[in-house]
Amino acid sequence: MAEEILSTRVVYEGRILKLRVDTVRTADGRESTREIVEHDACIAVIAVDADDNILLVRQYRRALDRELLEIPAGGIDEGEDPGAAVVREMREETGLRPQKVERLGGFYSTPGFCDEYLHLYLVEDMTPDPLSAEDTPGIEVVRVPVTQVLEIVNSGKIEDAKTIAGLLFYLEYRKSR
């Protein structure tokens, strides 16, 4: 059941996100507050090479002060089609241009406090075509055989929710191919 918004106050507005505090009336009539992060939609990519490896990227994440192993992902520029964002992000993060791009689905990253939606794509048939970006020089591409994906997810080597969701979604999709 929807909550009635009584007031909204923007607390912070930055380059990639906005934080607002909503005062709401809940379904049972109580007044409460909700802290909401507004973040534009993004893309997340399952990249499969000719040798049946999944391409992951190892990159430093300041919020955690350590590196994570993730599927390639990134923002969608204003006016950009999600499929075009996939090609651009793949070139920036892996140095490869996908020839085959297919939308697999999508999901909300953290709906308890954030409105970010991730469009999930599968890419294949990649050729070298790097594109430089300001935030990608420290990214390392890691190839993992598809046969080992469940093992690395279950081992805890992957801790990123979009990566876990994307990989598991792909493994189910692959069964129907």
Question: Same structural domain for residues 34 and 119?
Answer: no
Quick check: 138 and 59 in contact, CB under 8 A? yes
> Quick one: DSSP state of residue 147?
G
Question: Same structural domain for residues 104 and 20?
Answer: no
Question: Same structural domain for residues 114 and 57?
Answer: yes
Helices (H), 8-102: 82-94
So what's the pLDDT on residue 131?
87
Quick check: 75 and 92 in contact, CB under 8 A? no
CATH of the domain at 133: 3.90.79.10
So what's the pLDDT on residue 1?
77
Lowest-pLDDT range of 107-116, 118-127, 133-142, 167-176: 133-142
* Model confidence at 137: pLDDT above 80: no
Question: Same structural domain for residues 87 and 107?
Answer: yes
Global pTM reads: 0.94
For 98-129, the pLDDT digits (tens) are 999 999 999 999 999 999 999 999 999 999 99
Structure tokens belonging to residue 96: 């490869």
d(CA 133, CA 158): 25
The total domain count for the chain is: 2
18, 105, 56, 164: CA torsion to nearest 10: 80
Question: Same structural domain for residues 126 and 164?
Answer: yes
Range of the domain at 30: 4-39
In percent, the amount of the chain with pLDDT more than 70 equals 99
Burial of 99 per CB tally in 10 Å (0-12, 13-18, 19+): exposed
Where do we find the tokens 């876990």? 164
Question: Same structural domain for residues 32 and 51?
Answer: no
For 32-82, the pLDDT digits (tens) are 999 999 999 999 999 999 999 999 999 999 999 999 999 999 999 999 999
